[in-house]
Amino acid sequence: MRFLITAGGTREYIDPVRFISNASSGKMGYALARAVLRAGHEVTLVTAPTALRPPKGADVVRIESAAQMFAAVKERFSGCGCLIMAAAVADYTPARTSKTKIKKDGRASPTLQLKPTADILKWAGRHKAAGQIVVGFALEDRNLRANAERKMTDKHLDMIVANGPAAIDAERSDAQIKTIDGDWLTLHGKSKTVTARRIVRLAEGL
Ligand code: CTP
């Protein structure tokens, strides 16, 4: 099976040298790509900039913004058996990106206007074909299971992986995983490699 995996935090440019992003390291997405290859599958890794080296054998697509990630996923979604959206996609992007570097010019402090980005996961959940699997992540600091289950329903997901803010950039983390017809499963203090292998095994069983 071919897996399509997204990783890293997207960059939303304000001008050619400044952007809004988030603290995502990409570790979970890259661990998933390694786990997929180890399990004998093929992987396309759509990655925002990270400090990580992609695994040998992965088909790597480098993007920066949420819009570029959406275009890359749209182009490849029909060719994959399972999409795992591990990326931290910006929910908002600047309403306008300046083509030239914004100067101070002694003016009053600028105001940044934002517009929503497309929800890639929701798009995939709506457009999946029979047999295609769509897996999402949820970062929740409260009501983790209830919020994650709502996301699962809203976005037509086959599996959701929920964790708290402590998982960001961490080597080990707690994760709670739910498959569409299964119960919640809790992984305590596992490395992202172990969590990724579990996610891949669960996806294989869907
Ligand atoms: N996601 C996406 N496209 C976006 C935003 C998020 O595909 N524009 C994906 C992420 O990759 C992740 C999941 O959606 O798999 C996270 O869901 P989301 O509802 O964005 O979670 P939060 O950003 O945590 O939402 P909220 O702030 O409402 O909790």
CATH number, position 29: 3.40.50.10300
Mutate which of 12, 68, 91 to test ligand 1's pocket (most atoms within 8 Å of Cβ)? 91
**What is the pLDDT at residue 75?**
98
**What residue's CA is closest to ligand 1, atom 6?**
89
Q: Is the residue at 29 inside a domain? A: yes
Contact residues for 67 (Cβ-Cβ < 8 A; gap 6+): 93, 117, 118
pTM to 2 decimal places: 0.96
- Let me know if 143 is a catalytic residue: no
Give the lowest-confidence range in 12-26, 105-119, 124-138: 105-119
Q: How confident is the model at residue 122 (pLDDT cuts 50, 70, 90)?
A: very high
Q: How far does residue 172's CA lie from ligand 1's centre (Å)?
A: 21
In a domain, 106, yes or no: no
The number of folded domains in the chain is 1
pLDDT of 132: 98
Asked if residue 103 is part of any domain, the answer here is: no
Calpha distance 191→137 (Å, rounded) = 16
Is residue 106's pLDDT more than 80? no
Residue 137 placed within a domain = yes
Q: 161 CB under 6 A from ligand 1? A: no
Q: What are phi and psi of 20, to 5 degrees?
A: -100, 135
Within a domain: 133: yes
Is residue 107 pLDDT above 80, yes or no? no
Q: Is residue 101 part of a domain?
A: no
Tell me the helices (H) and strands (E) count for the chain, helix number first. 5, 12
The 3-state DSSP composition of the chain as helix, strand, coil percent (nearest 5) reads: 30, 30, 40
Q: Is residue 132 part of a domain?
A: yes
Residue 56, domain extent: 2-95+112-204
- Within-domain flag for 151: yes
**Is 32 touching ligand 1 by the criterion CB < 6 Å?**
no
Q: Which of 45-54, 77-86, 134-143, 159-168 has the lowest mean pLDDT?
A: 159-168
5 lines ligand 1 (CB under 6 A): no
What local confidence, expressed as pLDDT, does residue 32 receive?
A: 98
